[in-house]
């Protein structure tokens, strides 16, 4: 994705007096002036995994207040294609993929400056998603809502690969040394760092080691994230719910969900889902397993709608692995557990 160095920027100041002045450092990709970072990050551990996958308790109201506090153009923006406000899109689309809205705020700022900008400049490429360094932006991802959706989906895809022990699409993996575009030799110690370099393969100016002083890079995302984290009372998430894309709803603290993407079990703890496991946790406060279908001869995820071969009636997989009557499913595409994840008619 196209690199953006947008938070730690300042206008070029004219020198006063006759003493020597230092030339400003200008980002070679954006043309913006970079400020000296007050905090720098280990390029092998830019953020923690929960920095990217946590924050599920953050609400649209909190994000809206933060945007207003920052004087952001997005504070008064509604995406015409989605019919939703910028704050709502940041939270809903991030949570749909188990990504922190706070991370998304940092990504947007890093790529387009929209969190602190009072103008709509770069709105169409807000997260830099579909905008590689070597080519122009893919028009299919243009628009604010599409950009947030694209970015959250890609980061979740990187985490899914890493959770499964695979490298990401560009070859990044925990514990595997790889060259960035700076170039720097980086060995990510966690999934968050590997995912960040997959999205933006530059270390940049805000890392302790091997930084490229004229590009923001992935280290800027860490800098922005931690800055934003300390500028608003986001809360701790204690006792908070988690949004589950499998259930397509918030689930309570301690709830366990068998993911529709990989069939692994994850539990909601303090507003964050744990890493996937093949065994169901023993202390679940609620459970959303796959349901066994004799019609299909296999188990299917929560919200799946199936027309029974026994009596032709439609049913939907619900909480606790129970089949629920869903007579309206063939017409509405939904049942008592929500929209049908998949539909199987006779």
Task: Give 37-53 pLDDT, tens digit per residue.
Answer: 667 899 999 999 999 99
How far apart (Å, rounded) are the C-alpha atoms in residues 344 and 346?
A: 7
Statement: residue 64 has pLDDT above 60 = yes
Q: Which residues contact 182 (CB under 8 A, 6 or more apart)?
A: 202, 203, 204, 210, 211, 212, 215, 217
Average pLDDT over residues 77-101: 95
152: which 2 tokens? 């959250």
In the predicted model, what is the mean pLDDT of residues 312-335? 97
SS3 66: helix
Q: Which of 110, 135, 103, 108 is nearest to 124 (CA)?
A: 108
Q: Please state the domain extents for the chain.
A: 25-230, 238-288, 295-346
Q: Give dist(CA 129, CA 111) in Å, integer.
A: 9
Task: Provide the pLDDT for residue 31.
Answer: 46
What's the pLDDT band for 25 if we cut at 50, 70, 90?
A: low
**Could you identify the residue written with the tokens 């807000």?**
126
At 140 the pLDDT is 84
């Amino acid at each position: 994705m196209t690199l953006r160095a947008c938070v730690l920027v300042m206008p070029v100041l004219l020198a006063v007096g006759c003493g020597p002045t230092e030339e400003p450092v200008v980002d070679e990709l954006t043309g913006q002036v970079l400020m000296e970072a007050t905090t720098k990050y280990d390029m092998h551990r830019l953020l923690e995994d929960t920095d990217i996958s946590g924050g599920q308790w953050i609400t649209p109201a909190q994000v809206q207040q933060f945007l207003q506090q920052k004087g952001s153009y997005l504070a008064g923006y509604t995406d015409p294609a989605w019919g939703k406000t910028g704050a709502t899109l940041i939270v809903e689309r991030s949570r749909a993929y188990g990504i922190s809205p706070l991370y998304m705020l940092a990504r947007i700022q890093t790529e387009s400056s929209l969190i602190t900008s009072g103008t709509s400049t770069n709105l169409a490429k807000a997260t830099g998603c579909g905008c590689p360094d070597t080519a122009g932006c893919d028009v299919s991802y243009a628009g604010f809502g599409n950009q947030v959706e694209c970015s959250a989906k890609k980061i979740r895809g990187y985490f899914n690969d890493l959770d499964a022990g695979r490298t990401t699409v560009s070859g990044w993996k925990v514990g595997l040394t790889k060259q960035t575009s700076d170039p720097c030799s980086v060995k990510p110690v966690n999934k968050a760092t590997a995912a960040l370099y997959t999205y933006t393969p530059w270390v940049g100016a805000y890392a302790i080691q091997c930084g490229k002083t004229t590009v923001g890079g992935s280290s800027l995302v860490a800098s922005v994230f931690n800055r934003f984290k300390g500028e608003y009372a986001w809360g701790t998430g204690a006792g908070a719910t988690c949004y589950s894309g499998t259930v397509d709803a918030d689930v309570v603290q301690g709830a366990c969900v068998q993911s529709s993407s990989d069939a692994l079990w994850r539990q909601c703890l303090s507003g964050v889902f744990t890493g996937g496991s093949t065994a169901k946790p023993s202390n679940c406060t609620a459970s959303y397993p796959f349901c066994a279908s004799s019609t299909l001869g296999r188990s299917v995820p929560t919200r799946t709608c199936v027309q029974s071969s026994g009596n032709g009636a439609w049913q939907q997989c619900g909480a606790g692995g129970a089949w629920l009557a869903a007579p309206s499913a063939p017409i509405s595409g939904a049942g008592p557990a929500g929209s049908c994840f998949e539909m199987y008619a006779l």
